[in-house]
Every structure is written in C-alpha cells, then in structure tokens.
Structure 1
Amino acid sequence: MKTVNLLEVINGISEPPACDQTLGVKVIEAKDGYSKGVWTIKEHLLNGNGVIMGGFIGAAADIMMAYAISSLLTENQTFASINLQTTFHRPTFPGEVMIEAKVEKFGRTISYLTASLKQNEKEIASVTSSIMIMKRRDNRRVD
C-alpha cells in the first residue's frame, strides 16, 4: 500500500491520491490549518434522483479537511477521522464546487475541523469533523 505525502501534493511535488483523482477534487492551497480546493463533478456521480450522492459530498469535504490538518502536522504525525457530520443545504449538480476547510481547534490528540462547500456561490453543504492526531507508524505491510 502506497501512502501519499499530502504536503508534497500541496507543493506540486507528488500526484494527489487516487481518491482525489477519482472524485475530481483538486487542492488549490493549503497552509496554516486552512485549505481551499475545487471539485469538478461529472455526471457519473449522480444518484437515481438526478443529484450528486450525499456520500460523495462528504468525501469531497473530507479530502479537503485532510489537506487542512496536514498543513499543521509534523513529519512524525499522521491523522485519522473519528467522525464526519454533513448537513445538506441544497441539491448539488454536475459542475464546479468550491470547498474550504479550516482547523477550528488543533489539539495534541484530537482536532476539530469545519468545511463549507459552495456551488454557484451558494452553500450546498457544511461539514464538521473530529480528527485523531497520532504518531506516524512505519507503513510497511505485514501479512
């Protein structure tokens, strides 16, 4: 399993992880606990009701939150989501969605983040997340 250094993605050194590419999320900037990105949504993410599936909206916010928290971590730290709460304000359609994420509280072991997603300058969803901060482990796989 290959891991991707998100700081290297932010700085244009590495390609983004597959999840970013699959959804069409691209980071524009990330620093000091803040990130901003654009999500280019294609029609294959539509549900049977003709709108973007809510889980994809949460995933896109989670991606941008990962960049925000990564901008504050040391090279010996990593993170994992504890929870993700998404509130939908209006339907989302194919096109561009702007995503902004912010670390509201950066703790030693737990951090709290928020994200806002906007399409056509209108908020489509707001997301909150608690994230566990951990010591980075050796990524070698043992079977």
Structure 2
Amino acid sequence: MMKTVNLHDVIRGESAPPACDTTMGVKLIEAKDGFAKGVWTIDEKFINGNGVIMGGFVAGAADIMMSYAITSLLTEEQAFASINLQTTFHRPTFPGDVDIEVNVDKFGRTVSYLTAELKQHDKLVGSAVSSVMITPKP
C-alpha cells in the first residue's frame, strides 16, 4: 500500500518529504503564505544524451516546489491536483545546485495559478506556470 505524506507536516518540519523529493534531490527551504523556496541538488543521473539536464526533470523540480507553495495556503481538509504545467527553458541546466522559487499568483476557491523560477549560478535556467485544482480531501 502506498504511503502518503502530509505536506503540511513537511512544511512544519514534522515529517520527512515524499520519496519523489528525495529521489530528485529537491529540498524545501521554506513555504508560507503562497511562497515556497527550495534547492535542487542535481547529479549526473539526470543528464540526457546531449550532456545537459533533461527538461522533464526541470519541470518536475518546479512541480515539486509548487506543491509546497499551494499547500501553504490550503487547510488540512483541502487537496490539490495539477491541471497543467508549462515549462520554458531559458538556458541549459547542468549538475549542481538550482534555486527554485514559487509564488501562488492567484489563489481561488477551485483553481489557483502559480509561477516558478529556477536559477543556477544566479541565472534563470527555467520558468514554469501551472494551474492547480483545489478539492476537498478524499
């Protein structure tokens, strides 16, 4: 049986993050008031055949941090699910640390809109926008 992790507990430091975070090497630094900040420590296993980090992993790292930003605005009785995720790649990403910052730009009753920026060596490597559906917890 799959074990779920309460992201509110992760934000409060009361629980370990989900396996997807640790597998990818994404670490939450802070999440509050619709903002989340984290760092993605990338190793060589994420390199594609062209010698750069595969774009899907960049999108995945943004999506992970987006989950913390939206959770910081939800009650314990609410859940969320991504509707879409659009990612723009501004320059190649390489092994090392990438800083991720996410803002919930519009928090609605049923749909919210988020933006993320991913920076490596203080240069923008990727940005993402997402629509997220807000639902009652099952």
Give TM class, smaller chain.
over 0.9
Q: Which residue of 2 aligns with 1:15?
A: 16
* Cα shift readout 1:8-46 (whole Å, capped 9, x = no counterpart): 111211110000000000000000000000000000100
Q: Which residue of 2 aligns with 1:100?
A: 101
- For residues 76 and 11 of structure 1, the distance between their equivalents in structure 2, rounded to whole angstroms, comes to 17
Question: Which 4+ stretches in 1 moved above 2 angstroms?
Answer: none
Structure 2 residue 51 is the aligned partner of structure 1 residue 50: yes
Q: Which residue of 1 aligns with 2:69?
A: 68
Q: Is the 8 A contact 2:101 2:118 kept in 1?
A: yes
Q: Which residue of 2 aligns with 1:86?
A: 87
- For residues 90 and 79 of structure 2, the distance between their equivalents in structure 1, rounded to whole angstroms, comes to 31
TM-score by length of 1: 0.95
Structure 2: gaps spanning 5 or more residues = none
- For residues 83 and 110 of structure 1, the distance between their equivalents in structure 2, rounded to whole angstroms, comes to 11
* Cα shift readout 1:82-106 (whole Å, capped 9, x = no counterpart): 0000000000000000000010000
- For residues 81 and 21 of structure 1, the distance between their equivalents in structure 2, rounded to whole angstroms, comes to 20
- For residues 6 and 102 of structure 1, the distance between their equivalents in structure 2, rounded to whole angstroms, comes to 17
Structure 1: gaps spanning 5 or more residues = 138-143
Identity, % of aligned positions: 71
Q: How many residues align?
A: 137
Structure 2 residue 137 is the aligned partner of structure 1 residue 136: yes
TM-score by length of 2: 0.98
- For residues 124 and 12 of structure 1, the distance between their equivalents in structure 2, rounded to whole angstroms, comes to 29
- For residues 114 and 59 of structure 2, the distance between their equivalents in structure 1, rounded to whole angstroms, comes to 13
Q: Which residue of 2 aligns with 1:117?
A: 118
- For residues 131 and 18 of structure 1, the distance between their equivalents in structure 2, rounded to whole angstroms, comes to 21
Task: Say which SS state the counterpart of residue 47 (structure 1) adopts.
Answer: coil
- For residues 10 and 52 of structure 1, the distance between their equivalents in structure 2, rounded to whole angstroms, comes to 27
Shift of 1:136: 0.3
